[in-house]
């Protein structure tokens, strides 16, 4: 695998990567950088990194793999600052949730002697920061790589193996397809989660308190992903806006039809929708993408 790996950005994803790397002991040297000093303090205290730098340009020197796990809004500036210090033939990857924009940024910065392979581990929790990271975050989850056509097969394999060593399954696809699929599986659900919370909060204080108290009827499920990292999600919504807006429009159209079915007491149509939804849930569980324990096994 890689001799020396640098992780830039040590939040939930970055820290889950280096915790797993440390546990596996599969690389010679692990280097980390985070612009937030409190993050660096945690890493230092818990001895999670072999070397900590206070500049990304220093952190990448001699590294074979550089994983940029910052929000996408920081990607361009990170790349500009490390550009001159990259080892010849080093591989760069990222963990952002949108991939067309990442490809564009990699192209714009134009790192001649390094290989850029955009990636996205489809994993996460509602928590942020290095303390939230854990070695099992990527276990049985998918990581999607979206390399350009001109990228060498062997280099893709190296990054694939890296993610497999994280416990992840790896899929290669185009950035376009990634952004389309993720707009359905992740971006639209987050948009909806934020807005159902908004709708609930637009009540007087007494009603809001009661909504919180009786949220176990369904609402609480949505609030988990609505607690995700704000900066990351602002970036995603702005960078994949056209596909997300398209998804929202389709969703509103469905919801309008559903409203009509309720108003008309269209039992047949409602039962058909509910039956199909049950089957869809079953497919997700069968695909190993959710637990089959009732109520997520939550206590």
Q: Is 102 in the site for a second copy (CB under 8 A)?
A: no
Q: Is 201 in the site for a second copy (CB under 8 A)?
A: yes
Element at 31 (helix H, strand E): strand 29-33
Q: Which residues contact 299 (CB under 8 A, 6 or more apart)?
A: none
**One character per residue 130-159, x = contact with a second copy (rule: CB under 8 A):** --x--------xx-x---------------
Using DSSP, state whether 24 is helix, strand or coil. helix
Q: How crowded is residue 296: how many other Cβ atoms within 10 Å of its Cβ?
A: 10
The tokens for 83 are 């550009």
Q: Is 172 in the site for a second copy (CB under 8 A)?
A: no
Considering beta carbons, is residue 85 or 142 the nearer one to a second copy?
142
The tokens for 30 are 């692990």
Mark out the alpha helices in 202-266 (DSSP H runs): 205-213, 219-225, 230-239, 241-263
Q: How far is the CB of 75 from a second copy (least distance, A)?
A: 16
Tally of residues, the chain: 299
Q: Residue 124: name the closest of 227, 271, 258, 22 by CA.
A: 227
Considering beta carbons, is residue 166 or 226 the nearer one to a second copy?
226
Considering beta carbons, is residue 51 or 246 the nearer one to a second copy?
246
DSSP 77-127: HHHHHHGGGPPTT-EEEE--S--HHHHHHHHHHT-TTSEE--EEE----S-
Q: Is 174 in the site for a second copy (CB under 8 A)?
A: no
Considering beta carbons, is residue 65 or 137 the nearer one to a second copy?
137
- Give residues 208-247 in contact with a second copy (rule: CB under 8 A): 210-228, 230-231, 233-234, 237-238, 241, 244-245, 247
Q: Is 189 in the site for a second copy (CB under 8 A)?
A: yes
Find out whether 210 and 202 touch, Cβ atoms under 8 Å.
Answer: no
| Binding window for a second copy (CB under 8 A); candidates: 83-91, 111-119, 154-162, 274-282 | 274-282
Q: How far is the CB of 76 from a second copy (least distance, A)?
A: 16
Considering beta carbons, is residue 108 or 207 the nearer one to a second copy?
207
Q: Is 284 in the site for a second copy (CB under 8 A)?
A: yes
- Give residues 69-88 in contact with a second copy (rule: CB under 8 A): none
Considering beta carbons, is residue 81 or 125 the nearer one to a second copy?
125
Backbone angles phi, psi at 176, to 5 degrees: -60, -50
Q: Is 62 in the site for a second copy (CB under 8 A)?
A: no
Considering beta carbons, is residue 24 or 262 the nearer one to a second copy?
262
């Amino acid at each position: 695998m890689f001799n020396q790996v640098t992780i830039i950005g040590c939040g939930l994803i970055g820290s889950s990567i280096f915790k797993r790397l440390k546990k596996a002991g599969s690389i010679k040297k692990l280097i980390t950088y985070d612009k937030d000093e409190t993050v660096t303090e945690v890493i230092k205290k818990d001895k999670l990194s072999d070397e900590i730098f206070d500049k990304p340009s220093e952190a990448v020197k001699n590294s074979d793999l550089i994983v940029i796990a910052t929000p996408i809004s920081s990607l361009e500036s990170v790349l500009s600052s490390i550009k001159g210090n990259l080892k010849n033939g080093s591989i760069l990857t990222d963990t952002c949730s949108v991939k067309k924009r990442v490809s564009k940024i990699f192209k714009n910065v134009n790192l001649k002697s390094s290989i850029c392979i955009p990636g996205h581990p489809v994993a996460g929790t509602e928590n942020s920061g290095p303390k939230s990271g854990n070695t099992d975050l990527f276990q049985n989850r998918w990581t999607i790589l979206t390399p350009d056509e001109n990228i060498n097969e062997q280099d893709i394999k190296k990054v694939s193996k890296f993610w497999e060593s994280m416990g992840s399954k790896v899929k290669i696809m185009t950035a376009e397809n990634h952004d389309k699929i993720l707009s359905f599986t992740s971006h639209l659900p987050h948009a909806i989660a934020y807005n159902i919370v908004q709708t609930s909060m637009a009540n007087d204080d007494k009603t809001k308190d009661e909504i919180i108290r009786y949220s176990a009827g369904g609402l609480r499920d949505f609030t988990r992903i609505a607690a995700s990292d704000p900066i990351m999600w602002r970036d995603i919504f702005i960078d994949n806006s056209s596909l997300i807006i398209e998804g929202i429009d389709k969703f509103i159209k469905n919801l309008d039809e559903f409203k009509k079915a309720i108003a008309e007491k269209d039992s047949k149509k409602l039962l058909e929708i509910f039956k199909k939804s049950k089957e869809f849930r079953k497919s997700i569980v069968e695909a190993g993408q959710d637990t089959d324990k009732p109520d997520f096994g939550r206590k």
